[in-house]
Chain A
Amino acid sequence: MRPQEAIRVLLSSGPGKAGIIFFLALAAVSLYAIVAYPLDFGLRFWNNPAIWADNPRNAPPAWSNTFTHLRRVEHTTFRATEPAAVIPGAGVETRLYTFDLDYRFEESPAFTSFSLRHLTYYSRPPLITLSLARPDGREMLLYRHAVRGPDPGESPPVSRYVEAPLRVYLSGDDTVLWNIADFLGREFEMELPLSQLRGMVDEIAFGIPGGDGQGFRVLPGDYTITVAVKVYHPQDSISEVVFVLGGSVYGLMGTDTLGRDLAVGLLFGFPIALFIGLVTALLATTMGTLMGILSGYQGGKTDIFIQRFCDVLGNIPLLPILIFLIFVLGQKLMLVILILAAFGWPGLTILIRSMVLQLRSGQLVEATRALGASPWRIMLRHIFFQIAPFVLAQMIFFTPAAILAEAGLSFLGLGDPSIPTWGQILEFGFRTGAVYAGYWWWVLPPGLLIVLTAMTFVLLTLGMEPVVNPRLRS
């Protein structure tokens, strides 16, 4: 059958159509993941705690707010590299970085932090202030910081916060506490001891006094966070200003216990799952087809040997041997793929052989042989091409098996640590007790994606059936 015709038959069946759509979707997402993230994503991002330091731990996805009584704070990170406005002055210039925050939550933030990266100054050290404009019209100065002057022997330009950024947790900083106490006294005529204010900073910043004399209630509305940097030389520069509103819900898929964004991890799992499945299936079917044709066409001792070999190899229980080999030889993804392929081909060889036996005794092969065609030519052109649709269907059928096997292995803690897969995300959740703590956003999606990917190939296999077996065509 011609390829175009095969695709038409595939598309004419329900499962085939669904399979193709799912597969295209998987491929598109994978392509996006590969383009959007570097290939050493696992080492550079996923396993690098510094990147996830600001994120809340074990936070459910933001959309879970729809189902809860309380609207919880959505974790938000504001970044700016360029000031929103510059106020010129005599020999001094104030650069304003402003962040608008629409605060519609029913709890105070878990924390708020401010950080600043790579500052360079040429004359006097800049002065940084952080203030908050609240929806009730009150202005609140939170933080003031003078950058450290040049050290003895240091001459301008002076760079600060290059390796480690200036990072301030507002609730843990004493200047913030003073400012808050000041604010409360001025605006609400409240006197609270500093020891009591500690830990209440975020509650006060995003709230107003409850009215009953103690406690604060959340004040929803539009806030503006302003970072003002007073610089004394036009060439002074700051590479990044970041303000983090620490929430208890996060992004599209939530976070794990290290604060890692699960959406990113799951996204990167797409190309890897497809890679594992397709490469393993390709290797196993190639080997299986070669051996099957050889065994069926050559017959005799070759046949007996290959068949006995397949009998033995195909009967080895896969998971235990896979666990053993990966444990001893090391946790490498390529190794997993090779082992899966090495133990996966015998089943196909036995099937192909029985098909080749039929074809070999057919008139077509007999005629070509009579014309003097070499055995290799017959095997390739007249046997392989006839069984090719079947081989393709088997390859698709084998793909989910490989994906599931790798996921199972990862789930047992033997995944490749440098490459995060869905199985590993789930395993980490299982190992750290996410299942028992009920963190559904962490343990359900990776498994669901594995099921979905495996299902795609099952659908394709079902759709391929009429292509392979003409009697099923209607």
Chain B
Amino acid sequence: MSLATTLALRGFTLFCVLLVVLLLVVITLGATGFSDRMLQATISEEMRGLRQSLAQTIRDPDQLEQVLHSRHQQLIDYYHLDKPWYFRLPNTVSQVLTLDLGEARTMRSFKGSSRVADIVMERLPNTILLVTTAMLITAVIGLLAGVRLATRAGSRADRVVSFFLASSYALPAWWVGIFLILIFSFKFALFPSGGMYSLPPPQEGMARLLDLLRHAALPIITLVLVSFGVWTYVVRTMVLNTAQEPFVSVARAKGLPEPLVRRRYILRVAAPPILTNLTLGLAGSIGGAILTETVFNWPGMGRLYYDAIMAADESIIIALTFIFTLVYIIARFILEVSYIILDPRIRYV
């Protein structure tokens, strides 16, 4: 397969994922009568506003009722509420795709807007900031520690450490977060227990950055703690597998210096399978991010999920489910592309 077909195929699969999630969302909403209720709520909201404004101009109650009734019919017609939900399917899909989900029930964006799109998009950068920083730190630690462990493979230390790394899979992010808050925030008062900036936030550039760092420290440590174990374990295993290949022995036999062997003969070859393994863990880290943000009251999309559940704000939950899938798919695609860059076997066929 050529490079283009490979990319296109992966891209297509990922697009299918998005499509399936979208369909799952709108079909569930339709089949359970949820979308009917949402549309009815929108209509009655509009009718209430209309009644108030019309009551100023139309004095005759009968005439008012008549006008309102015809407007009601128009709205039902406009939203296709008179037809079964599956006729509205394409319409709903496009609504979700464009985040045209109307107004949130009670939630507001930081600037005060109640449009779902505003609320969600405002928080997207905060989530991306938190997750990418944590992932970068995890990657660096994982690579360094994994390679180091692989050179001591089979030793007692390696076995003990590997065991702990593998079992860190059992650590829930939210519990680690709570644990860190109890210790570092309450016992030692080193870090704030939540939020993104102090109140009031410092305005000056440098102070603001430091404030942000102080607030981000615990959530980032949490995310790194729960994911670096698996990273390190994967790197160690893959490096170990490659180090046993004949070409590595040949390189050593040629008398190449060890750092060069490690860098160019082992790590370079082990890179694609490491990446594959980590791609598979991406979905998990999205879940971890949602829970970590919730614990630390980080104003990102994960915390928004929690707030929306507490406020029973369905349009926000729908929007978030879609955006999270989208973010995941974009991240996956970036990883697929970097895989192709890393693995020459795909490029040169």
Considering the complex, give the chain B residue whose CB is closest to the CB of A451: B170
Given contacts A312-B20, A320-B321, A462-B163, contact A426 B32 (CB under 8 A): no
Question: Complex Cα distance A411/B295, Å?
Answer: 9
Question: Complex Cα distance A454/B32, Å?
Answer: 34
Partner of B169, one of A327, A411, A458: A458
A50 at the A/B interface (Cβ < 8 Å)? no
Partner of A412, one of B25, B284, B306, B324: B306
Question: Complex Cα distance A448/B290, Å?
Answer: 20
Are A447 and B320 interface neighbours, CB within 8 A?
no
Considering the complex, give the chain B residue whose CB is closest to the CB of A315: B17
B-binding segment of A191-199, A244-252, A387-395, A436-444:
A436-444
Are B163 and A328 interface neighbours, CB within 8 A?
no
Place the interface of chain A in its size category: 35 or more
B237 at the A/B interface (Cβ < 8 Å)? no
A371 at the A/B interface (Cβ < 8 Å)? no
A259 at the A/B interface (Cβ < 8 Å)? no
Partner of B317, one of A315, A324, A347: A324
Interchain nearest-CB distance for B301 vs A (Å): 9
Partner of A444, one of B163, B174, B179, B305: B179
B145 at the A/B interface (Cβ < 8 Å)? no
Partner of B13, one of A315, A435, A455: A315
B325 at the A/B interface (Cβ < 8 Å)? yes
Given contacts A15-B163, A327-B309, contact A319 B178 (CB under 8 A): no
Against A, the Cβ 8 Å flags (1 = close, 0 = not) of B276-314 are 000010011011001100110000000001100110001
Are B29 and A328 interface neighbours, CB within 8 A?
yes
Partner of A328, one of B28, B171, B172: B28
Question: Complex Cα distance A407/B170, Å?
Answer: 12
Are A447 and B170 interface neighbours, CB within 8 A?
no
Given contacts A319-B290, A324-B318, A329-B28, contact A400 B324 (CB under 8 A): no
Against B, the Cβ 8 Å flags (1 = close, 0 = not) of A403-427 are 0110110011110000000000010
B58 at the A/B interface (Cβ < 8 Å)? no
Considering the complex, give the chain A residue whose CB is closest to the CB of B279: A315
A316 at the A/B interface (Cβ < 8 Å)? yes
Question: Complex Cα distance A458/B233, Å?
Answer: 14
Are B178 and A447 interface neighbours, CB within 8 A?
yes
Question: Complex Cα distance A133/B294, Å?
Answer: 53
Are B172 and A450 interface neighbours, CB within 8 A?
yes
Are B291 and A412 interface neighbours, CB within 8 A?
yes
A174 at the A/B interface (Cβ < 8 Å)? no
Q: Name B's interface SS.
A: helix
Within 8 A of A (CB), among B26-60: 28-29, 32, 34
A213 at the A/B interface (Cβ < 8 Å)? no
Are A312 and B166 interface neighbours, CB within 8 A?
no
Are A317 and B178 interface neighbours, CB within 8 A?
no
Given contacts A412-B290, A447-B175, A447-B179, contact A317 B328 (CB under 8 A): yes
Give me the interface of B with A, judged by CB distance under 8 Å: 13-14, 16-17, 20-21, 24-25, 28-29, 32, 34, 163, 166-167, 169-175, 178-179, 181-182, 186, 193, 280, 283-284, 286-287, 290-291, 294-295, 305-306, 309-310, 314, 317-318, 320-321, 324-325, 328-329, 332
Please name 8 further chain A to chain B contacts, defined as beta carbons within 8 Å, in addition to the given A320-B325, A412-B309, A447-B178, sorted by A numbering: A318-B283, A319-B290, A323-B290, A408-B173, A430-B178, A455-B167, A455-B170, A458-B169
20 A–B contacts from the bound complex (CB under 8 Å): A308-B13, A312-B16, A312-B17, A319-B286, A319-B291, A320-B324, A321-B325, A323-B317, A324-B28, A324-B317, A327-B309, A327-B314, A329-B32, A347-B280, A400-B169, A436-B181, A436-B186, A444-B178, A454-B170, A458-B166
Give me the interface of A with B, judged by CB distance under 8 Å: 15, 308, 311-313, 315-321, 323-325, 327-329, 347, 400, 404-405, 407-408, 411-414, 426, 430-431, 435-436, 438, 440, 443-444, 447-448, 450-451, 454-455, 457-459, 462
